Structure 1
């Protein structure tokens, strides 16, 4: 393990079929006014909405509703939610849904009392929070982003075709999250598999970096193997509790900052994927899957030992009679076969990207270091073209 780091995580997790009962422990800690944030009508159709309202009523809370959070929350929606939270003097934001709803809730939490335009402050300038923050709690109905236990939030600006994420500090993490695997059963298959790959991508982007003997890499290999095993079961039996519970737990640990400790990290798949999302409004997990194979094939020569290790430790590729490069490439072939099993997008053309969009997508891609190669804008273009 190289370097020095601090690890702490302030989010309390309530996990299991009775996890919703955790609200009775958490809600008394906060004031009366609750902003209930959710997406479409699925939580009403499932009965979850009424169940949550009954708990809030029992705890003596006043509920202000903020429905209609879209899969890629927009600046306009953020401003609407921030106004609601401010005008009703909200004491807690309770997000019910998947990663987009949780992301949005955190964005509202830092924006409601912001004295300037939050898009400029937090997503263009990437400033820290220096205004009051409204606490957030999450009830998950879809897994993938890990937003239930981290400070990340992603907002889209449709007019400029920019989709930008900001990872805030511990002060913005949800104070608590409710994780009941049963609540994920009704998610449509395409959303389900997009979430599965989102989890996998979070792990890969932290894994493909560094050259030291790092405990975090061993943890990630275990998470990846568990995820592969459980997602294959869930594809055939979406209501298999054991599989869905393992997937939910893996999603949380894939991006609550634990496995990135002691490592540099490579988030270029997310940077390109978010820029693609700004142009296409495509599902987040699909933007990651569509760019991943092209990117990792490009990166492989620069991080060959780790790609070889990935092939052997995660996919059990036999090394006999093969060069290191052949072993590594076989690992990426195994990844591609798995992605095909899942049914995720394998190229950006599937998402509606055309060659005339590439200039804008390149311009909207933040180039980060930390991986085995710092890309130039022209290399970003090459990867995008290879993924068409």
Structure 2
């Protein structure tokens, strides 16, 4: 392992079918005024909303609600939420939903007491909060982003068509606790389930495809990927399989709670490409990642050949006998492609609403990130986006 690092993750997790009861343990630690944040209303249909509100009332909380948080939370929605939280004099924020709801809650948390415009401060200048932040807790109903155990927050500016994530450095931005009940994920449509599964897988890939040293984090990543492949196939056939769904939920959390990034560089270019596509199409996050992944990985494969060969052998069980390194590596990506198609993932950005006329604009809002095997220039970004159309 190379480099020096500090690791601390203060988020407390409550996992399992009885985990919502732990709200009774956590809520007394925070003030009276709670902002409850959720999405399009599915939690009212499946009964989770009533359960959560009942517990909040039992604990004597005064509740203001921010509903209708969309899958790609917008800056306009952030401004709306900040105003609600300010008027309520919020002491605590409870996010009930998937990663977008958790991301949004963190964005509200750092913005309520901030005098600067949050978009400029946090998503353009990438500054850290200098003001008081509001503690956040999460009740997870969809898995994929890992937002329940990290300090990341992604917001979309619809006017500029930019979708930008900020991973805050301050541990105080991380959720104080997260409640993970795999049963809550079982009412999701198949499209959302497999989108989340690919988001998980790609989070691991982004931290895996970098570096050339012998790094413990890479061994952990390989184990997480193998577990996810196994459970994803079971869940794809039977979405009600509790064991598979619980393993997927647990893998999602560990895929992006910063553990497997320690001691190495990381490559987030698939996310930069996917988020840029999402900014133009408002497509589901995991599907934008799926649509750009293989063109990107095939492009950078020659620059990180040893790791791609290892990926093929250790994750996909490719037999290297009688093959050169390039053949083994390419066979691994072919196996990955077959798995993606098996799940029913979107394999090109045209299916998400992108077309040739958008490519230059998407390239303009794609951030070129260092850390991987190749730092892309704009021409290369355009080439990969064009290859992602088909």
Q: By the TM > 0.5 criterion, same fold?
A: yes
CA offset digits 1:161-195 (Å, max 9, x no partner): 11111111212000100000000000111011000
Q: Residue 313 of structure 1 corresponds to which residue in structure 2? A: 314
Gaps of 5+ in 1: none
1:275 aligns with 2:276: yes
C-alpha deviation, 1:87, in angstroms: 1.0
Match of 2:84 in 1: 84
- Residues 1-388 of structure 1 mapped to structure 2, 5 A cutoff: 1-169=1-169, 170-388=171-389
Which digits, 9 at most, give the CA deviation of each residue in 1:230-282, with x for residues without a partner?
01000111111110000000000000000000010000000011110000000
Q: Deviations along 1:65-107, whole A, 9 cap, x unmatched?
A: 1100001100110000001111111011000000000000000
Q: How far is 1:114 from its partner?
A: 1.1
Question: How many equivalent pairs are there?
Answer: 388
Q: Name the CA distance, whole Å, in 2 between partners of 1:29 and 1:245.
A: 28
Q: CA RMSD in A?
A: 0.6
Q: Distance in 1 between matches of 2:364 and 2:84?
A: 34
Question: Per-residue displacement from partner, 1:276-299 (whole Å, max 9, x unpaired)?
Answer: 000000000000000000000001
How many Å separate the matches in 1 of 2:30 and 2:249? 27
TM-fit CA distance, 1:40: 1.1
TM-score, normalisation: structure 1:
0.99
TM-score normalised by length of structure 2: 0.99
1:113 to partner: Cα distance? 1.1
How far apart, in 2, do the equivalents of 1:370 and 1:319 lie?
28
| Structure 2 spans left out of the alignment, 5+ residues | none
